[in-house]
Amino acid sequence: MSQEDTLIETPESVSNDRFVEVSYDDAIPNNVDLSSDRQLLKALESWHPGYLDWWKDMGPDGFQEADVYLRTAVGVDPAGWAKFGYVKMPEYRWGILLAPKVEGRTIPCGRHKGEPVWQEVPGEYRSLLRRLIVIQADTEPASVEQQRYLGKTAPSLYDMRNLFQVNVEEGRHLWAMVYLLVKYFGKDGREEAQALLERRSGQQDNPRILGAFNERTPDWLSFFMFTYFTDRDGKMQLAALAESGFDPLSRSCRFMLTEEAHHLFVGETGVGRTVEATCAAMQKAGITDPYDTEAIRKLGVVDLPLLQRKANFHMSVTRDLFGSEISSNAADAFSAGLKGRFNEANLKDDHQLQDDTYPVMRAVDGHIVTEDVPALRAINSRLLDDYIADCQGGIDRWNKTIEKFGIDFRFAQPHKGFNRRIGEFAGHRISPDGRLLTEAEWQAGQGEWLPNDADNAFIHSLMQPCHRPGEYASWIAPPRMGINQQPVDYEYVKID
Ligand SMILES: [Fe+2]
Ligand SMILES: [Fe+2]
């Protein structure tokens, strides 16, 4: 379990009695002095009912009236930014919170490097900036839509509560982006804000913008893999946008990253607890071979090779979210100073990259090669590499658990080119260990590498609700500790 992520839920970092910057008397809690901008306030107030309709239509199905023990952001002070309490989700206080302004902040990268950051939209980059914000914004409601049926099969009230926490915070992230659109982009911004409520994940005629956000999240293993791997794409994108020279975007994203840490924690511990339940059940039954799947599944737990296949799927579709590895749009956004790299400030180069190169892996003439490419055009490739490195920590911790039980199995990340639809490897068939395959070889192997029909049917059979306090499904171990110092058998969700 990541210490960093666990910290978010400890009482030391969350105190209940600090209500500093945010006034909850306002219809829309905020620390952006909304009440002084009548026009903006009016625009947001007129967007609000449509948002609530969207939430009721597309938010968690069947639990709108339940009292959920939720964290609500009440400020941006790292020492005490949230409070916990029972809330019905439609009454959640979705607010607009920006990280504090850094005095004297300058544009960290690109051709304007060193100039003061922009507080207003730079006219020449207006449409590029709007596009970046809309793409980020679109992912937020999309994941809520993808996860809307999961409450019914929650493996415990603790997990159900975590699902709903992630959902309401993705809703808040939508608010954060809509604030930027409405405040800074006038009529176009209002139209974009409306369109965000109209697109639907997986819908043929008006889908969400990015592929992975149109996939289904049909079961809890998918949810945990999604929050570990796909919310981590969110983390990387937010980190890159936090480097933006457009200061309101930077400040918005910096605060969103605080909430994102919990989403990653839910994913990491969700998969980790699944691994733990599997290993413990195998040990108890005296099974040492991780590939003895028939016997293992009879124990009501998920075999480790199936978890690897699930992970392979989520890793590969999430890698596609980074876009083409070599991209002139990404170069433009970086050079304009609208989006930086991961950890931009700590990188030891000139932050302009006019003369630099970056090694990019590509499939050329039937071989996988690494070629030096102008660094500016390889911005996406670099962010993808940073993402892949960032994924490894949790995987190592899952492997530690398996090792502790003495089971001979290790999770691994598939090759970068495995199962890709976008970028350098699109159109190629590549095995998890990085071999270029013929179509026939791919067809023969894919059931070993990606969840197959039998896997999906088995997972489906496990998804039985455990909705009594302290009850946990067979396939997942209880957490080591509860939320906000509450016990693991706390009534995290009060269903009617
Ligand atoms: Fe988000
Ligand atoms: Fe998230």
Please say whether the beta carbons of 275 and 307 come within 8 A. Answer: yes
Q: How far is the CA of 96 from the centre of ligand 2 (A)?
A: 16
DSSP summary character for residue 134: H
Ligand 2 centroid to residue 234 C-alpha, Å: 6
Between the CA of 94 and the centroid of ligand 1 the distance, in Å, is 13
The Å distance, Cα 260 to ligand 2 centre, comes to: 5
pTM over 0.85: yes
Q: Measured in angstroms, how far is the CA atom of residue 407 from the centroid of ligand 1?
A: 36
The helix/strand/coil state of 169 is helix
Distance CA 308, CA 24 (A): 45
CA of 140 to the centre of ligand 1 (A): 5
Cα–Cα distance for residue pair 122/76, rounded to 1 Å: 27
CA of 169 to the centre of ligand 1 (A): 7
CA angle 104, 33, 195 (to 5 degrees): 100
3-state secondary structure of 480: coil
> How far does residue 256's CA lie from ligand 1's centre (Å)?
7
Distance 320 CA to ligand 1 centre (A): 18
Q: pLDDT tens, position by position, for the chain (496 residues)?
A: 333 333 333 322 333 333 334 555 567 888 898 888 888 988 998 999 999 999 999 999 999 999 999 999 877 777 777 889 999 999 999 989 999 999 999 999 999 999 999 999 999 999 999 999 999 999 999 999 999 999 999 999 999 999 999 999 999 999 999 999 999 999 999 999 999 999 999 999 999 999 889 998 999 999 999 999 999 999 999 999 999 999 999 999 999 998 999 999 999 999 999 999 999 999 999 999 999 999 999 999 999 999 999 999 999 999 999 999 999 999 999 999 999 999 998 999 999 999 999 999 999 998 999 999 999 999 999 999 999 999 999 999 999 999 999 999 999 999 999 999 999 999 999 999 999 999 999 999 999 999 999 999 999 999 999 999 999 999 999 999 999 999 999 999 999 7
Task: Render 269-311 in DSSP notation, one character per residue.
Answer: HHHHHHHHHHHHHHHHHT---TT-HHHHHHTTS--HHHHHHHH
* 212 CA → ligand 2 middle, Å: 14
DSSP conformation class of 352: S
Q: Tell me which residues have their CB within 5 A of the ion that is ligand 1.
A: 140, 170, 173
